[in-house]
Amino acid sequence: MSLADWYTADLSPRPETYRPFLPFANAVRAANASVKLSSGGTLATFFSQKHDIALITPMTKLVILEYPDPRLRKKAAAVTAVDDAVRQLADNMLETMYAAKGVGLAATQVDVHKRLIVLDVSDSRDQPLVLINPELLMREGSGPGEEGCLSLPGIYDKLSRATHIRVRALGRNAEPIEMDAEGLLAVCIQHEMDHLEGKLFVDYLSELKRQLIRRRLEKERRQRSTGSGLRATAPSASAPAL
């Protein structure tokens, strides 16, 4: 089943729904025409992928903050100018997202508190989307789905999101974007926009669940720091890491 099919199998397609991708300069695209982006594995992990997007432009992997780091609670500020620094940040975030085998990442998660998110829900992992200063104009419907988060490694749970949204933003080169999204893409955008408000998907869960998750992550971090244990694998690998 494809990434989109995973979440939209029971949803009828909506007219005029589209998924723009991050444009690269023609010369860069031509120079890298031979790059093949591998796909495979589960939606949550993509274990076998090589993420050859790193060959397109020099990028740097960033450190992803992990829950309950208080910096994840900071509200992001609007990007006032889309300059080279912002474009480099977007590129670095994409590199970090691909390396972490995720499908979305917010600037808040890498301790940069600007309103910028990156995503790629494509099977081929070659349709990166950059949204700067995203705004939700409309949301419709409600559907359950299992979510994960790169800031809560190995944690997955079910919650409901709007199944169809309309979002307005600026692209990587400050081009205006207004688009409809549904299914997995809609879920990813809502999830990442929550991060910009200092909110995580576990905030939708009960206090008891949050306490259990926090203790589990703290235990795993202690084990990693001492080399005494490996991170547990999630019981279900069908959810996206966002």
SS3 state of residue 109: helix
From the CB of residue 198, how many other CB atoms can be counted at a distance below 10 Å? 16
Catalytic residue chosen out of the listed positions 146, 192, 197, 207: 192
CB burial of residue 10 (10 Å; 0-12, 13-18, 19+): exposed
Backbone φ and ψ of 158, nearest 5°: -95, 140
d(CA 14, CA 180): 9
Helices (DSSP H) in 114-242: which residue ranges?
183-196, 207-226
d(C-alpha 147, C-alpha 51), whole Å? 22
Residues 115-131 as b or e (16 or more Cβ within 10 Å = b): bbbbbbbbbebbebbbb
Apex CA 114: angle with CA 110 and CA 115, to 5°?
Answer: 110
The question of whether 192 is a catalytic residue gets the answer yes
Nearest residue to 1 via CA among 30, 53, 43, 59: 43
Q: Which residues are catalytic?
A: 192
